[in-house]
Structure 1
Amino acid sequence: MRITVDTGRCVGAGQCVLNAPAVFDQDHDGVVEVHDPAAAAADPEAVALAATLCPSAAITVHRD
């Protein structure tokens, strides 16, 4: 699993952090950051949910 984020699209809603806090974080402006991509393997459902709930579609999950 590979995760990419489009920081230019992010609106800072924080759904990613609420649903997968081990994977995502927000910078000082509230923009999404991939905090620990390796943690995604432990809970792929939470990562997928975070991507689905992102209101700006800034998160893409690639299932390589």
Structure 2
Amino acid sequence: MGIADPAAGSAPMALAAQADRDENSAHALARITENRRRALNQLLTPPAVGSARTSSPCRPAQ
């Protein structure tokens, strides 16, 4: 369910609320943010040339 799931969204929101006062929370939030950014970039990376994902659905890959 992602961030809409209360169990998954509560911890990052609590860290964000404490990050300006607590150094450990700020570091944890930075690590989570970097991890999520890296995961998103992997999803957005174009596939390698010649992979099955680049073939047309109307034509099989050669």
Q: TM-score, normalised by structure 2?
A: 0.27
Q: Which has the higher helix share?
A: 2
Higher Rg: 2
Return the TM-score normalized by structure 1: 0.26
